[in-house]
Structure 1
Amino acid sequence: MKHSEPNLLGITINHRSMRGDARRFADVTRAMAEGRTAGTPQRAREIQWYLSNLCTGIHHHHQAEDDVLWPVLRETAGAEVDLGELTDDHRQLDPLLDRIRAESAALAAAPADRAAAGRLADSLATLRDLLDEHIEDEERTLFPVIMRYVSGEQWQRVEKAVRKGSKMGFELPRIERYATPQELETLYREAGPVLRLLLASVRGGFQRRERVIFG
């Protein structure tokens, strides 16, 4: 019998940030492809930087699920959970993430190339749709199983694996962007003053990059 419940706030915000970023970068690159947003060298470089980090973060997230969360669920929930379809989704993601990395590099090399922007926009739209479907399925089917079968201690082990290797200078400002004010206050209470200090140290540079990308 488990002694404490998992806190799913972190993974919920992480999921929201991945979906939100895929959506807004699909939009901005489509606007570049259609000539509604200028394809400047600085904008294209910052898009490449952001998408490189985003793709790395998405890969790390689903790899941690495969390597750490899935074994925990098989151990605790057994026949109550079917991970086949979600695992197949993970396999589809990696080639798409590689394509987005390559296409964002091509755009950085030729920022005024509207066709290059269009190819990247198409790939990001595919990522957006795949993440929307995958995450909705995962939260609907797995979150109740996690809450029923996984202990708080086991869940902390999963979260530690997700945090390990994450680029905090990239991930923390995105948490701030996508969390509600109430969720942020909860995170501040749980993490203590160190979270506010870390965010203060990375917020400015991150916001400057976003202004270049989105205007």
Structure 2
Amino acid sequence: MTSPNVPNVLGFRITHRAMRGDARRLAEATQEIAAGRQSCDARRAAAIRDFTVQLCAGIHHHHSVEDEVLWPLLVRSAGPEVDLTDLSDDHSELDPLLDEVRAAMADPAQAAKPLARLADLLDEHIEEEERVIFPIIERHVSAADWNAVEEVARKGGKVSFELPRIEQYALPSEMAELRKLAGPVLVVLLALMRGGHRRRQRLIFGAA
């Protein structure tokens, strides 16, 4: 458990893991469809399209919060210790790529290549961000300021899409910590959303 005086980056860490994981899984699924190794009827295509559009919206919101709220906070808090040039350059590549992914979703097979590029960019960007930025957050940002960043991030997210994916990608120890932080409401919301999420996962990925 993180000290109450130190920013707890667990939520961002799991969100990053979910974005990377789902982008990679979508890239692999659409590659299989494009190669003719998996079938894709209208129902599965619609589910892939809806999931991908929501994922792209979530990625856009997340990096917009970083650009507009977190990066200025880091500059104020850490000053010359932080260099955001490379990370900001990655963000400038994201929106055109997200647009390309969305435009290709009329036929999921056509989205395989842009989704693969998206998955690669997210892997590289997030690994660098966590390596460089998370230690600076923990050294220089107050817990109160970090909580304000997380509040902005939560307000723009779609709970029914984001929350079940948090449970999917969190380690058991991380979920235990989140339950302590969020209280009984988290347990109730997850119970309500879990079934629908798992059905969508089976339809899109063949997952349990």
Q: TM-score, normalised by structure 1?
A: 0.92
* CA-to-aligned-CA distance 1:119-178 (integer Å, 9 cap, x gap): 311111100110011001101111111111001001001101111121000000100110
Q: Deviation string for 1:165-204 (max 9, x for gaps)? A: 2100000010011000110011011100000101111111
Amino acid at match of 2:171: T
* Post-superposition CA distance 1:11-37 (Å, at most 9, x none): 000000000001111110001011111
- 1:208 aligned partner: 199
Tell me what 1:111 maps to. none
What letter corresponds to residue 158 of structure 1 in structure 2?
Answer: V
Q: Say whether residues 1:131 and 2:122 are aligned partners.
A: yes
CA–CA separation in structure 1 for the residues paired with 2:146 and 2:114: 33
Paired with 1:184 and 1:16, the residues of 2 have a C-alpha distance of: 14
2:174 aligns to what?
183
Q: Which runs of 5+ in 1 are unaligned?
A: 108-115
Counterpart residue type for residue 175 of structure 1: I
Say whether 1:161 aligns with 2:152: yes
Match of 1:141 among 124, 129, 132: 132
Partner of 1:74: 75
Shift of 1:85: 1.1
Question: What CA distance in whole angstroms lies between the structure 2 residues aligned with 1:168 and 1:159?
Answer: 14
CA distance in 1, matches of 2:153, 2:205: 28
Q: Percent identity?
A: 56
Unaligned residue ranges in structure 2 (runs of 5+):
none
Residue aligned with 1:36, SS: coil
Q: Is 1:150 the counterpart of 2:141 in the alignment?
A: yes
Q: Name the SS for the 1:6 alignment partner.
A: coil
Aligned-residue Cα RMSD (Å) equals 1.0
Superposed CA deviations along residues 99-125 of structure 1, whole A, max 9, x for unmatched, are: 111111x11xxxxxxxx60x3111111
- Once the two structures are overlaid, the 10-residue window that deviates more, 188-197 or 198-207, is 198-207
1:12 corresponds to 2:13: yes
What's the secondary structure of 1:38's corresponding residue? coil
Partners of 2:89 and 2:152 lie apart in 1 by 21
* 1:85 equivalenced with 2:86 (yes/no): yes
2:32 aligned partner, one-letter code: A
More deviation in 174-183 or 199-208? 199-208
Q: Deviations over 1:10-68 (max 9, x none)?
A: 00000000000011111100010111110211110000010010000000000000111
Please give the residue correspondences for 1:92-103 in structure 2 after superposition, counting only pairs within 5 Å. Answer: 92-103=93-104
Cα distance, 1:4 vs. partner?
1.3
**Which segments of structure 1 move beyond 2 Å, counting only runs of 4 or more?**
none
Q: TM-score, with normalisation over the residues of structure 2?
A: 0.95
